[in-house]
């Protein structure tokens, strides 16, 4: 383009910098920066923000800050890029310092959500994350999901559930539900996990493969298989069992089961003492079962003394 005498504009340079950042091209990016310094358009805010992004993508957070500091009049993109860069590198104090210096008119949901995410992910930052969340002028779905996920990861399930329950009507999505279900399962509260899943189905929130894997684990831990596995459907209006989850995933929600899902299903059947059914389930798998699946079956055989199947 340049060799043919075609003048590059700010959009061309921005695209080149983005490409260099994604591919980790340091030398080429530095050449572009050097070229911009020689051009009148190089000081344009749009390009300076692109440079901040490029330096961060290449791991040069200090250089991105130098570009930021040289910008005479920064906008929300400038601030948000730097804050996000600090957060991703765990430099939450530097991110907060910049956030506090940011003009109020430039702060937006991206700014607030980045800070909440940074605190929620840090070891001792949940209190600060909650304080920021409560002082937000407005919230979106990302705000709610971030703080709920943070509470779950810090083991504050009561706080997470309280936030989950106070989410604006109609805003809950699969991300929030997965966070709650996963938190309950990790802490052995399988009944509560299944209640959240039931809420999802009644609220027309479509589960994904992650949901199904967590729910299958919850069913396996609770051993909830009351009337056998062959029906593969709801047996009671407010009850759902492991095989139902599996079939909902595969037939209704068109989520292709993976090895982990098959393994969980074998665990569900094994814990319920349905060893023959578990073996038939394995025989009907469309993919070759791995050693984890077989060990799960063998463990169930030993527990229920089904030595004939174990020998097979």
| Domain housing 183 | 172-312
Whichever domain contains 200, its CATH number is 1.25.40.10
Taking CA atoms, 91 is separated from 119, 131, 207, in Å, by: 10, 19, 35
The Cβ-side half-sphere exposure at 61, using a 13 Å CA radius, reads 13
Whether residue 182 lies inside any domain: the answer is: yes
Task: Specify the pLDDT at position 34.
Answer: 72
Whether residue 198 lies inside any domain: the answer is: yes
Whether residue 29 lies inside any domain: the answer is: no
Task: Specify the pLDDT at position 205.
Answer: 87
Task: Give yes or no for residue 283 having a pLDDT over 60.
Answer: yes
What is the share, in percent, of the chain residues with pLDDT greater than 90? 40
Name the packing angle between helices 259-271 and 291-303 (round to 10°): 0
Length of the chain measured in residues: 312
Segment among 14-23, 242-251, 267-276 with least mean pLDDT:
242-251
Whether residue 311 lies inside any domain: the answer is: yes
Kindly report the CA angle at 65 between 62 and 69, in degrees rounded to 5? 140
Tens digit of each residue's pLDDT (9 = 90 or more) over 68-91: 999 999 999 999 999 999 999 999
* Structural domain count of the chain: 1
Q: Is the pTM of this model over 0.75?
A: no
Q: Across all residues in the chain, what is the average pLDDT?
A: 82
Whether 143 and 108 have beta carbons less than 8 Å apart is answered as: no
Task: Specify the pLDDT at position 281.
Answer: 87
Task: Give yes or no for residue 208 having a pLDDT over 90.
Answer: no
Task: Specify the pLDDT at position 309.
Answer: 55
Report the candidate in 267, 258, 201, 278 with the shortest Cα–Cα distance to residue 233.
201
Burial of 92 from C-beta contacts in 10 A (0-12 / 13-18 / 19+):
buried
Task: Specify the pLDDT at position 166.
Answer: 94
Token digits of residue 107: 């702060």
Whether residue 95 lies inside any domain: the answer is: no
Whether residue 251 lies inside any domain: the answer is: yes
Whether residue 127 lies inside any domain: the answer is: no
**5 torsion bin: left (phi>0), alpha (psi -120 to 50), beta (else):** left
What is the rounded distance in angstroms from the CA atom of residue 110 to the CA atom of residue 297? 48
């094994």: which residue's tokens?
Answer: 270
Tens digit of each residue's pLDDT (9 = 90 or more) over 263-276: 888 887 888 787 88
Whether residue 179 lies inside any domain: the answer is: yes
């Amino acid at each position: 383009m340049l060799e043919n005498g075609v003048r590059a504009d700010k959009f061309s340079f921005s695209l080149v910098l983005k490409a260099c950042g994604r591919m980790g091209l340091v030398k080429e990016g530095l050449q572009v920066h050097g070229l911009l310094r020689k051009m009148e358009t190089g000081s344009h805010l749009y390009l300076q923000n692109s440079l901040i992004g490029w330096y961060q993508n290449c791991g040069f957070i200090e250089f991105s800050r130098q570009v930021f500091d040289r910008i005479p009049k920064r906008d929300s993109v400038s601030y948000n890029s730097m804050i996000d860069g600090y957060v991703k590198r765990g430099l939450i104090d530097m991110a907060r310092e910049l956030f506090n210096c940011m003009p109020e008119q430039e702060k937006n949901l991206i700014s607030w959500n980045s800070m909440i995410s940074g605190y929620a992910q840090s070891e001792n930052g949940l209190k600060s994350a909650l304080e920021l969340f409560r002082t937000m002028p407005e919230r979106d779905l990302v705000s709610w999901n971030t703080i709920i996920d943070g509470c779950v990861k810090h083991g504050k399930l009561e706080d997470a559930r309280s936030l989950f329950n106070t989410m604006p009507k109609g805003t809950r999505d699969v991300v929030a539900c997965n966070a709650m279900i996963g938190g309950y399962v990790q802490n052995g509260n399988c009944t509560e996990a299944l209640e959240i899943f039931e809420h999802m189905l009644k609220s027309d929130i479509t589960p994904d493969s992650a949901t199904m894997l967590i729910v299958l684990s919850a069913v396996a831990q609770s051993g909830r298989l009351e009337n056998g596995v062959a029906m593969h459907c709801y047996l009671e209006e407010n009850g759902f069992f492991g095989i139902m989850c599996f079939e909902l995933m595969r037939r209704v929600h068109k989520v292709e089961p993976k090895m982990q899902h098959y393994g969980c299903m074998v665990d569900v059947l094994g814990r319920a003492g349905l060893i023959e059914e578990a073996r038939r389930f394995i025989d009907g798998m469309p993919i070759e079962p791995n050693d984890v699946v077989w060990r799960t079956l063998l463990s169930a055989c030993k527990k229920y003394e089904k030595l004939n199947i174990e020998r097979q």
